[in-house]
């Protein structure tokens, strides 16, 4: 009788201890859970590649080794997905959302369709890239580290649209006093490179990974000449040479060497602001508003473990380029940098888009 | 010689890589999965590859390639099932197959049509791979020779196939193609982003309409509704005629046609930026032109299947060239493929210009894996076709609800909006009336598919040409009138002239009776009204963005002109003239026991209920009531069929990790999957 009683007591005690132990440890465990990583683009874009690259790594590193699936919600150049995410609230912590420069630019430019607010979301990871502009062989010969010899010619450039990431190269060339005519309507930067290879376009730019795989062979074959990289940011927020391309001068250097181009003033500030938003802090992963701190911490720790893998640099080089991956507070700072564009820079760009390309954005 | 010295060892290394039992095992696994995904209309390579992606990370490269290529290669083979059996274009690669494949199925010769299609697919795939083995080494300069003017001309050549499919009244066909192009311009313009026939208040329209939805709406909905009204089986009289052996013999008798169309497929596939959308139409046009007796096209001419099917698998091989050599995806599935290849192994395979130099053996493995996948896929498909062909003998009333279910699910996958279903219904209505009044639906679809390329290439070629002309006149002429452009121009002109002359013989929709003026006139007025509104809408775009308005205004204007001439003709011609074709007057539709609107109401009901209760609950009610009331099935049968339908949907959504269309209920209450 007593033994049975004791046994029952013990069972109770163990159960109670177990029951208390769980909330006390407050450990986040995703065992048997499925994390949905929503990407507001189609399956075929760069953001899809980015998420598909990180998803299996995150699955290994997150507590309880959950399944991580990437889901796509394309529409209105990511505005649809971002508006949807704005309405999501914390629910078990199994929802992750990825944005790109194409989500940031309409937000910065005051696109009327934007109903999302970056400041409401909780960034857990951010990664970036760089970019390199290059010239055809004939005009490349006239390039001497400044654009002084390139001003009397009209260049043709295959562009995805002036309000997209192409804003950064187009504004840079304009600041250098070059005449670059964008041919709009191409589908991706790969199409732009093909146009360049066919000799229809005479100037082009690629993001880092695409430059390494697609354009470096052209440079080696002598049909393309690198002009400038957009550069990278140092700890103090200054633009320095891109560590991936230490031999290619940055736009800042070329601008300083070119007559009439200034690395101060509102054009420069505007370019720099949009460069930061579009390149070094191009892609971010967010948790929805209201996510409890321990869930946030679990994600931050997981992404930290991902980037600390011994083979991470090697794996990342092909997919996302060898650029720093920011997690937790660093990601928050990166986001801060990306969305805190001074108002006069926005006004400058909106006016420039209207004057140069007749594009009306914002009000 | 130099080329041979590198190619031969790489080729034998490639065979060494492929011919391992494990690799073949993965290939077959991929093929089986590809077939399972591909038979469902609207789900193709993109859905399948997304399914495989999670497993690619760090996988042994050859295994991963075998799995993915097995999957991609069979999609243009397996989507033939839907095209032939149900008249549903499974993907853009099998639009033309519908024209003659479905009439054959209706004659009870589905197995023959399928076998001819599969044999052609297999052969096309093999010809493509053989051609590529030699060609891939020298492909680079040729691909680079195709600039924007050349691509515009190929698009024009594709569009010229409208002439041959225009139907008995050429003007109606032209207007239908113009309407297709105009519907294709809806949304944000690709160049400067102006809105055409859309507002930001309806975000759905801003992205434009998807091919899956328009294709399903224009071809599938009218056929399903028509068959359902007649309450028969697909094969008239539920009898099966010629079998699969007959189909293989048909293919063999037309082997030269098959070779020619394979070469057309692989060549056009090589050119980046065009994708599969024109290949099957150009092959179909070639088939018609090279056939002496043209009277059977559109009524079940087996050559009309052999041509397009030979070309579309060969195209997949050709499409590898821009993907592998330039790192530029020729299609959505190729874009995922490129991303997935970089996940394989330690990421040592780099798709792009360095591929031939560093990974020639892998390149060849990919080419020949594709060919082997075609063989495996074909054998499986031919083996399955006599069984699957029996579907055509089932009373259609038992199939229709499942088809409504499948096309709704497929349409929803394209944009994951409830509006996808509404768009499907509207496209279906357009299709129903185009079919009824004998407006060429193929011409409409060609226009829709080619709308974006026409606009893109003409704008871009125009811009670059004007820069060139500014440099010097000779430079501009060199650019615009390259030898390739001139050759294509001549082919296009010939094909238009021949096409218009032959179009009267080819009734892609069968014979349609003519009668009173009123109904056909209303149809014309509605189309004219839409075109007028669209042209006026385009004209309001600011002149700064001329690139966004020029194509809709010019094409819309031309289509409008066709409509006005038709209007004059309709007023003048007496009742009973062919111009007043109306399918409700005589024939199967007129004799059908069920009315159009009552039948369509079932589909509308499914969509409406989905808007209220979400897809799964709506489907439950729809299937129960349909089987019980319309099909008059017993309760036992009703419950079994309903359960099977719901289970199939849930399984597919779960496998593909997709959601169902939500309704108002889901907005109000949080429900567990699959109800959510």
Query: Which pLDDT band holds residue A13 (cuts at 50, 70, 90)?
Result: very low
Inter-chain CB proximity B148 and A217 less than 8 Å: no
Please tell me which of the candidates B329, B459, B467 has its beta carbon nearest to residue A44.
B329
The residue in chain A having the minimum alpha-carbon distance to the alpha carbon of residue B206 is A76
Q: Write the DSSP assignment of B126-189 as a string of letters.
A: HHHHHHHHHHGGGHHHHHHH--HHHHHHHHHHHHHHHHHHS-SSHHHHHHHHHHHHHHHT-EE-
CA distances to B466, B474, B492, B616 from B480, rounded to whole Å, are: 10, 10, 16, 55
Task: Please state the three-class secondary structure of B564-612 as a single string.
Answer: HHHHHHHHHCCCCCHHHECCCCCCHHHHCCCCHHHHHHHHHHHHHHHHH
Name the band, by pLDDT with cuts 50, 70 and 90, for residue B92: low
Same-domain check for residues A122 and A236: no
Smallest CA–CA distance from A155 into chain B, residue: B467
Mean pLDDT of A213-240: 90
Q: Is A358 within 8 Å of B545 when comparing Cβ atoms?
A: yes
Residue with tokens 């649209």: A161
Which residues, 6 or more positions from B357, have their beta carbon under 8 angstroms from its beta carbon?
A: none
Within a domain: residue A357?
A: no
Is there a single domain that holds both residue A46 and residue A149? no
Mention every residue, 6+ apart, whose C-beta is less than 8 A from residue A290: A89, A90
- Say how far apart CA A259 and CA A139 lie, in whole Å: 18
CB < 8 Å to A73, chain B: 416
Domain membership flag for residue A333: yes
pLDDT category of residue B510 using cuts at 50, 70 and 90: low
Residue in A43, A156, A188 nearest the CB of B467: A156
Residues A250, A176, single domain; the answer is yes
Residue A152: its chain B contacts at CB < 8 A? none
- Find the closest chain A residue to B670 by CA distance: A91
Average pLDDT of the residues of chain A: 86
State whether A244 and A288 are in the same domain.
Answer: no
What's the pLDDT score for residue B405? Answer: 92
Q: Which stretch of A2-6, B157-161, B347-351, B353-357 has the lowest confidence by average pLDDT? A: A2-6
**Based on the number of CB atoms within 10 Å of its own CB, is A264 exposed (0-12), middle (13-18) or buried (19 or more)?**
exposed
Residue B106 near residue B302 (C-beta atoms within 8 A): no
The parent domain of residue A271 ranges over 131-278
**Higher per-residue confidence, A276 vs B542:** A276
Residues A255 and A308 in one domain: no
Q: Which residues of B389-417 are buried (b: 16+ CB within 10 A; e: fewer)?
A: bebbeeebbebbbebbbbbbbbbbbbbbb
Q: Closest Cα partner for B143 from B298, B299, B318, B400?
A: B318
Got the DSSP string for A38-90? EESS-TTSHHHHHHHHHHHHHHHHSTT--EEEEEE---GGGHHHHHHHHT---
- Does residue A284 register a pLDDT over 90? yes
ipTM attached to this prediction: 0.84
Q: Is residue A300 part of a domain?
A: yes
Task: Identify the DSSP state of A325.
Answer: E
Count CB neighbours of B61 within 10 A.
21
Q: What is the CATH number of the domain that holds A136?
A: 3.40.190.10
Residue ranges per structural domain of chain B? 2-234+245-393+440-498, 395-439+595-676
* Contact present, B69 and B434 (Cβ < 8 Å): no
Whether B466 contacts chain A with CB within 8 A = no
CA distance A243 to chain B (A): 21
Residues A102 and A74 in one domain: yes
B545 in contact with chain A, both atoms CB, cutoff 8 A? yes
Helices marked H in A241-308:
251-257, 265-278, 293-307
Q: Are residues A145 and A116 in the same domain?
A: no
Per-residue pLDDT at A349 exceeds 50: yes
How many angstroms separate the CA atoms of A351 and A360, rounded? Answer: 9
Query: Is residue A139 pLDDT above 90, yes or no?
Result: yes
Contacts of B238 (CB under 8 A, 6+ apart): B232, B393, B394, B395
Query: Do A101 and A54 lie in a common domain?
Result: yes
* Beta-carbon separation of A52 and B343 below 8 A: yes
A contacts of B657 (beta carbons < 8 Å): 69, 71
- Token readout for A153 is 């010619």
> Is residue A3 domain-resident?
no
With contacts defined as CB-CB under 8 Å, which chain B residues touch A191?
Answer: 272-273, 328
Q: Lowest mean pLDDT: which of A267-276, B13-22, B92-101, B504-513?
A: B504-513
Lowest average pLDDT, out of B246-255, B514-523, B648-657, goes to B648-657
Q: Is B190 on the interface with A (CB under 8 A)?
A: yes
Rama region for A116: left / alpha / beta (φ>0; ψ in -120 to 50; rest): beta
In a domain, A1, yes or no: no
Tokens of B303: 């050559």
List chain B residues with CB under 8 Å of A60: none
- Taking CA atoms, what residue in A is nearest to B479? A200
What is the residue-averaged pLDDT of chain B? 86
Cβ neighbours of A181 in B, within 8 Å: 463, 467
* Helix (H) / strand (E) containing B640: helix B635-656
CA distance A92 to B200: 34
Beta carbons of B54 and A74 less than 8 Å apart: no
A-B C-beta contacts closer than 8 Å: 134
Q: Are the Cβ atoms of A213 and B352 closer than 8 angstroms?
A: yes
pLDDT at A161: 82
Contacts of B335 in chain A (CB under 8 A): 43-45
The answer to whether the Cβ–Cβ distance between A213 and B326 falls below 8 Å is no
Q: Residue B644: pLDDT above 90?
A: yes
Count helices and strands in chain A by DSSP H and E runs: 15, 13
Chain B: residue whose CA lies nearest to A76: B207
Nearest to A161 among B58, B193, B352 (CB): B193
Residue A90 lies in a domain: yes
Q: How far apart are CA B170 and CA A275, in angstroms?
A: 54
Each residue's pLDDT tens digit, B270-309: 887 665 667 888 898 889 888 888 888 888 899 999 999 9
pLDDT for position B315: 85
CA distance A139 to A126: 37
Residue A326 domain-assigned?
A: yes
Structure tokens of A77? 């150049």
Write the pLDDT tens digit of every residue in B435-472. 999 898 889 988 998 898 899 899 999 989 988 898 88
For residue A218, is pLDDT > 60? yes
DSSP sequence for B28-81: HHHHHHHHHHHTSTT--HHHHHHHHHHHHTT--HHHHHHHHHHHHHHHHHHTHH
Is B46 near chain A, with CB under 8 Å?
yes
A213 and B350: CB-CB below 8 Å? Answer: yes
Number of domains comprising chain A = 2
Same domain flag for A224 and A314? no
* Shared domain check, A272 and A139: yes
Residue of A77, A192, A318 to mutate, interface with B, max B Cβ within 10 Å: A318
CB contact under 8 A, B46 and A156: no
What CA–CA distance (Å, rounded) separates B62 from B530? Answer: 53
Nearest CA in chain B to A41: B415
Give the whole-angstrom CA distance, residue A269 versus residue B630: 69
Query: Does the beta-carbon distance from A44 to B46 stay under 8 Å?
Result: yes
* pLDDT confidence tier of residue A91, bands split at 50, 70 and 90: confident
Give the chain A residue nearest B205 (alpha carbons).
A76
**Distance, in angstroms, between A7 CA and closest chain B CA?**
39
DSSP characters for A6-32? HHHHHHHHHHHHHHHHHHHHT----TT
Query: Measuring CA to CA, how many Å separate B500 from each of A105, A348, B493, B494, B554?
Result: 50, 55, 11, 10, 22
On whether both A190 and A155 belong to a single domain, the answer is: yes
Q: Do residues A182 and A297 share a domain?
A: no
Boundary residue ending a domain (A278, A297, A328): A278
Q: Are B54 and A183 a contacting pair at CB < 8 A? A: no
Q: For residue B433, what are the β-bridge partners?
A: none
The 10s digit of each residue's pLDDT in B344-373 is 876 677 787 777 778 888 888 988 898 899
How far apart are alpha carbons B470 and B119 in whole angstroms? 52
Question: Do the Cβ atoms of B336 and A44 come within 8 Å?
Answer: yes
């Amino acid at each position: 009788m007593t033994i049975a009683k004791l046994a029952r007591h013990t069972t109770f005690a163990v159960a109670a201890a177990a029951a208390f132990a769980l909330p006390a440890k407050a450990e986040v465990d995703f065992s048997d859970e499925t994390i949905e990583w929503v990407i507001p683009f189609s399956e075929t874009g760069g953001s899809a590649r980015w998420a598909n690259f990180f998803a299996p790594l995150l699955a290994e590193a997150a507590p309880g080794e959950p399944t991580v699936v990437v889901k796509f919600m394309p529409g209105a150049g990511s505005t649809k997905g971002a508006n949807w995410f704005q309405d999501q609230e914390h629910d078990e912590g199994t929802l992750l959302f990825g944005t790109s420069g194409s989500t940031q630019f309409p937000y910065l430019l005051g696109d009327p369709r934007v109903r999302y607010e970056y400041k409401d979301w909780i960034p857990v990871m951010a990664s970036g890239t760089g970019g390199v502009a290059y010239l055809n062989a004939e005009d490349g010969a006239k390039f001497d580290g400044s654009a002084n010899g390139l001003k009397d010619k009209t260049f043709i450039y295959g562009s995805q649209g002036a309000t997209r990431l192409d804003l950064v190269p187009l504004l840079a060339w304009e600041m250098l006093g070059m005449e670059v005519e964008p041919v709009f309507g191409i589908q991706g930067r790969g199409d732009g490179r093909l146009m360049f290879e066919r000799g229809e376009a005479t100037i082009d730019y690629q993001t880092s990974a695409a430059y390494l795989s697609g354009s470096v062979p052209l440079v080696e074959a002598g049909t393309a000449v690198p002009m400038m990289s957009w550069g990278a940011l140092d700890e103090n927020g200054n633009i320095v040479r891109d560590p991936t391309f230490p031999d290619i001068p940055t736009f800042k250097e070329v601008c300083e060497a070119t007559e009439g181009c200034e690395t101060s003033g509102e054009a420069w500030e505007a370019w720099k602001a949009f460069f930061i938003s579009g390149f070094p802090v191009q892609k971010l992963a967010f948790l929805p508003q209201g996510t409890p701190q321990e869930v946030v911490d679990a994600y931050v720790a997981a992404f930290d473990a991902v980037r600390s893998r011994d083979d991470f640099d090697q794996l990342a080089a092909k997919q996302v380029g060898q650029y720093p991956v920011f997690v937790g507070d660093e990601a928050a700072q990166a986001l801060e940098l990306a969305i805190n564009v001074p108002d006069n820079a926005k006004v400058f760009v909106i006016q420039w888009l209207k004057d140069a390309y007749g594009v009306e954005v914002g009000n | 010689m130099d080329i041979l010295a590198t190619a031969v060892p790489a080729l034998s290394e490639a065979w060494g890589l492929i011919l391992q039992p494990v690799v073949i095992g993965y290939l077959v696994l991929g093929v089986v999965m590809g077939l399972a995904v591909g038979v469902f209309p609207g789900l193709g390579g993109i859905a399948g590859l997304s399914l495989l992606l999670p497993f690619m990370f760090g996988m042994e490269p050859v295994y991963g390639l075998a799995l993915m290529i097995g999957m991609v290669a069979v999609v243009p083979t397996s989507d033939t099932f839907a095209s032939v059996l149900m008249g549903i274009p499974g993907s853009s690669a099998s639009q033309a197959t519908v024209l003659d494949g479905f009439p054959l199925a209706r004659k009870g010769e589905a197995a023959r049509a399928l076998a001819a299609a599969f044999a052609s697919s297999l052969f096309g795939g093999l010809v493509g791979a053989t051609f590529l083995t030699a060609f891939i080494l020298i492909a680079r300069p040729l691909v680079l020779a195709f600039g924007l003017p050349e691509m515009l001309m190929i698009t024009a050549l594709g569009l010229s196939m409208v002439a041959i499919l225009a139907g008995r009244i050429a003007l109606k066909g032209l207007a239908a193609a113009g309407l297709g192009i105009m519907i294709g311009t809806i949304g944000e313009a690709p160049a400067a982003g102006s809105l055409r026939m859309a507002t930001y208040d309806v975000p759905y329209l801003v992205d434009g309409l998807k091919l899956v939805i328009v294709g399903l709406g224009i071809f599938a909905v009218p056929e399903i509704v028509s068959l359902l009204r007649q309450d028969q089986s697909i094969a008239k009289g539920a009898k099966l005629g010629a079998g699969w052996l007959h189909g293989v013999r048909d293919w063999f008798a037309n082997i030269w046609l098959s070779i020619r169309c394979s070469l057309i497929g692989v060549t056009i596939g090589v050119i980046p930026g065009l994708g599969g959308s024109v290949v099957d139409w150009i092959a179909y046009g070639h088939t018609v032109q090279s056939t002496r007796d043209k009277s059977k096209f559109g009524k079940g001419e087996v050559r009309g299947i052999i041509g397009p099917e030979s070309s579309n698998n060969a195209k997949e091989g050709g499409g590898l060239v821009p993907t592998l050599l330039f790192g530029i995806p020729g299609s959505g599935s190729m874009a995922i493929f490129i991303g997935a290849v970089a996940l394989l192994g330690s990421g040592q395979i780099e798709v792009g210009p360095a591929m031939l130099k560093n990974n020639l053996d892998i390149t060849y493995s990919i080419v020949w894996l594709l060919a082997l996948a075609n063989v495996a896929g074909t054998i499986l498909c031919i083996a399955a076709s006599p069984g699957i062909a029996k579907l055509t003998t089932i009373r259609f009333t038992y199939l229709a609800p499942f088809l409504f279910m499948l096309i709704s699910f497929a349409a929803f996958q394209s944009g994951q909006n409830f509006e996808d279903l509404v768009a499907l219904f509207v496209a279906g209505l357009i299709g129903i009336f185009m079919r009824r009044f004998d407006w060429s639906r193929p011409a409409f679809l060609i226009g829709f598919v080619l709308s974006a390329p026409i606009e893109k290439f003409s704008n871009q070629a125009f811009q670059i040409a004007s820069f060139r002309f500014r440099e010097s006149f000779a430079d501009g002429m060199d650019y615009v009138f390259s030898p390739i452009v001139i050759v294509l121009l001549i082919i296009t002109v010939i094909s238009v002239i021949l096409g218009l002359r032959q179009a009267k013989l080819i009734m892609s929709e069968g014979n349609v009776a003519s009668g009173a003026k009123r109904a056909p006139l209303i149809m014309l007025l509605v189309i004219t009204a839409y075109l007028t509104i669209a042209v006026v809408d385009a004209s309001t775009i600011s002149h700064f963005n001329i690139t966004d308005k020029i194509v809709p205004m010019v094409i819309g204007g031309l289509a409008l002109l066709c409509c006005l001439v038709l209007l004059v003709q309709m007023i003048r011609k007496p009742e009973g003239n062919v111009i007043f074709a109306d399918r409700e007057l005589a024939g199967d539709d007129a004799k059908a026991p069920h009315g159009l609107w009552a039948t369509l109401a079932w589909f509308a009901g499914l969509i409406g209920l989905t808007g209220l209760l979400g897809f799964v609950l709506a489907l439950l009610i729809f299937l129960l009531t349909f089987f019980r009331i319309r099909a008059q099935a017993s309760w036992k049968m009703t419950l079994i069929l309903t359960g099977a339908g719901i289970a199939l949907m849930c399984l597919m959504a779960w496998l593909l990790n997709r959601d169902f269309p939500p309704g108002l209920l889901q907005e109000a209450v949080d429900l567990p999957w699959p109800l959510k």
